[in-house]
Each structure stands twice: as C-alpha cells, then as structure tokens.
Structure 1
Amino acid sequence: MADKVLENNQVSVTGVVDSEFTYSHEVFGEGFYMLEIVVNRLSNMADRIPLMVSERLVDVTQCYIGKTVQARGQFRSYNKHEEGHNRLILSVFVREFEVLEEDAVCTKPNSVYLNGYICKQPVYRMTPLGREIADLLLAVNRPYGKSDYLPCICWGRNARFAGKFKVGEHIHLWGRIQSRTYQKKIDADTVEKRTAYEISVSKIECAE
C-alpha cells in the first residue's frame, strides 16, 4: 500500500549544485539537510530547486558545488509558522541521489507526475497580454495518512480545462518544478526577496 501511495508523487531533477548542505531537522536520529541545484530550461532560463537529502543517502560533509547531480523522489510541502502566519515550504524529498559525469546528457532534467485531488477552487484568469492561466492547489496523499499541498499553474487550453474543476475532483498531471522570485514587504522599511515554487503543468487529465 505504501508503494502505491509513493507512486502518486514522482519527481526527477538533474542540475548543477549551487550551495553547501545546510541542516534542516532530525527524525528518529536521522539528519536531513537542504541543498540547492540549478536546472536549466529550454528557454535558457533556469530554476533553482531545493532538495531535502538524508545524511544516510549522501555524505553531507562533502562539498558538491559545481557538480551535476540527479535526484529522484517526491515534491513535498509543510507549513512553517512565522510572523504570525503559516508559510508553505516546498522541496524535493530525495530518495535517490547520483553524481553524474560533467558531459552527461539528460533529455528530461525536470519532470514531475502527480496524482491528487483539487483542494481549493481553481482560479482562471487572463494576463494583460491575453495569456490564459489557471492556478490549482493539489492535495497528494503520502504514506501514514499525510498529504502534500502543491501549487500548480496551467497555461492556454490546459488553463481553460482546469478552470472548470471542482473541489475534490481527482486528477493526474505532468509537468516540471519552476521557481520564481518575488518581493515580500516585511514592514514599512523592509522588503525581502523570496523564492516561490510551483508545478508548471504540461499535461492534465481527470482520473477515471
């Protein structure tokens, strides 16, 4: 049953490491660390993707900056309470980690598959330039009765299709993890630069 639930959420990312390991937390004596990789897009832009890696999976005392790595796992979320509000924190929970050769070729450096349920009414809109967009929040089941809440964005015909979904609808989607920076106003004198993550959807369908 646990293996079936794990299949609901599949991620594979390949990119260049751009940070040291930083300590995140410990569970039953197992330490978990954060690592950032840069994954190139076809458009020559890049996404900075955070990985959560167990110290039992890789030697976290080593520096991997500049190395190309491939990570497979799940896109996960948790709520972090700060400044009187809950903030959704997203990262790739790594189950497999491999250092690749510098000249390694990867045809799909950033791919995601999710099987989940619409948990918030989709928001369909058009940009000032006339581009169609729909924002979704997908609940994806995890083992032991937990769930991940993952923001997704659809474009064009997919946006029109997704904009008609109802809360509780069961869907499958495929896409990639994308990052974007934004300015968060902390107080009258302080503006903080932050990074948000979401799934950019390339294919979406209703589950039978």
Structure 2
Amino acid sequence: MTDKVIENNQVTVMGEIVSGFSYSHEIFGEGFYMMDVKCKRLSESYDTIPIMVSERLLDVSADYTGELICINGQFRSYNRHEERKNRLVLSVFAREIEFVEEMEESSKTNQIFLDGYICKEPIYRKTPLGREIADLLLAVNRPYGKSDYIPCICWGRNARYANNFRVGERCAVWGRIQSREYMKKLDEENVEKRVAFEVSVSKLELIEDGEVS
C-alpha cells in the first residue's frame, strides 16, 4: 500500500545547488534540512526549488554550492501559521540523490507526476491578452493518512478542460514545478517580495476507473 501511495507523487529535478543547508526539523532522531536547487527552463530562465534533505542522505555540514545534482522524491506541503493565518509551504522531499558531472542538453531537468483529488473548485480566467488560465488545488494522499495539497496551473485547452472538474474527482497531472515571485502587501506602507511554487501542467486527465491510462 505504501508503494502505491508513493507512486502517486513523483518528482525528478536536476540542477545546481545554490544555497547551503538550513535546519528544518527532526523526526525520531533524524534531522531534516533545506537547500535550494536552480533548474533550467527551456526558455533559458530558471526555477529555484526548495529541497528537503535528510542528514542521512547528505553530509549537511558540507558546502555543496555550485555542484550539479539529480534528485528523485515527492512534492510535499505543510501549513505554517503566520500573520494570524496558515500559509501553504511547498518543497521537494528528497528520497534519492545523485551528483552528476554535467547536464545533457536533452535532459528533462524538472518533471512531476501527481495522482490526487480536486479539493477546491477550479478558478478559470483570461489574461488581458486573452490567454486562458485555470488554477487547481490537488490533494495527494501520503502514507499514514496524511495528504499534500499542491497548487497547479493549467493553460489554454488544458485550462478550459480543467474548468469543468468538480471537487472530489480524481485527477492525474504531468508537468514541472515552477517558482514565481510576487509582492505581498503586509500593511498600508509595507510590501514584501515572496516566492510561490506551483505545478505548471503540461497534461492532465480525470481518472474514472481507478487506473491512470
């Protein structure tokens, strides 16, 4: 059962480590740390993705900044309480790590597959230039009764298709993790630059019979 649940959330990211380690938390004596990996897009821009790493996978006292790395894992979420409300915090939980010498031009440096349930009505809209966009929130099951809540963004035909999805329907999503900067208004005088993470969807489908086609 656990293997089946792990299969419903699969991430592979390849890129350059661009930060040191910062302590996150400890579970049953195992420490977890955060680092950032910069993944190249086809458009020559980059996504900087937060990675959660166990001290049992890497020497967290070392400095790997500038090293190239391939990570397999899961995209996970948790709610952090701040400013009198909860904020959804997302990161890639590393299960396997491999250092690489170089990135092949053909390498798919950022891939994700999710199999989950629509947990919020889709939000469909058009940009001023007429581009169609739909926002989805997917609940993806994890072992021991937990779930990760993953925001997804669809474009064009996919956005139109996703607009018809209903809460509770099961959905499979393929795409990549993207980072996006935005300005958060703190009060009348102060704004803060923040980074949001979401899945940019390249393909999606509803699952009717319990199997992904």
After TM superposition, the score normalised by the length of structure 1 is: 0.98
| Residue 191 of structure 1, CA deviation | 1.4
Q: Hey, what does 1:108 align to over in structure 2?
A: 108
On the 8 A contact 1:67/1:102 being kept in 2, the answer is: no
Please say if 1:152 is aligned against 2:152. yes
Tell me what 1:124 maps to: 124
The one-letter code sitting in structure 1 at the alignment partner of 2:91 is S
Residue aligning to 1:183: 183
1:49 corresponds in structure 2 to 49
Tell me by how many angstroms 1:185 deviates.
Answer: 1.4
Q: Cα RMSD between the aligned structures?
A: 1.0
Ranges in structure 1 where 5+ consecutive residues have no aligned partner: none
Equivalents in 1 of 2:82, 2:140: separation in Å? Answer: 24
Q: Distance in 2 between matches of 1:92 and 1:68?
A: 16
Instruction: Kindly report which structure 2 residues correspond to 1:1-208, keeping only aligned pairs within 5 A, or say none.
Output: 1-102=1-102, 104=104, 107-208=107-208
The separation in 1 between residues aligned to 2:106 and 2:91, in whole angstroms, is 21
Q: Which runs of 4+ in 1 moved over 6 A?
A: none
SS in 1 for 2:168: coil
Structure 1 contact 122–162 (Cα < 8 Å) conserved: yes
Q: CA deviation at 1:51?
A: 0.2
**Letter of the structure 2 residue corresponding to residue 201 of structure 1:** V
Percent of aligned pairs with the same residue? Answer: 64
8 Å CA contact 1:75–1:91 kept in 2: the answer is yes
**1:14-38 Cα shifts (integer Å, max 9, x gaps):** 0111100000010111000000011
Name structure 2 gaps, 5 residues minimum.
209-213
Distance, in Å, in 1 between the alignment partners of 2:27 and 2:207 is 34
Cα distance between partner residues in 2 of 1:10 and 1:191: 35
- C-alpha deviation, 1:103, in angstroms: 5.2
2-structure distance, mates of 1:106, 1:189: 47
Question: Contact 1:115–1:140 (CA<8 Å) still a contact in 2?
Answer: yes
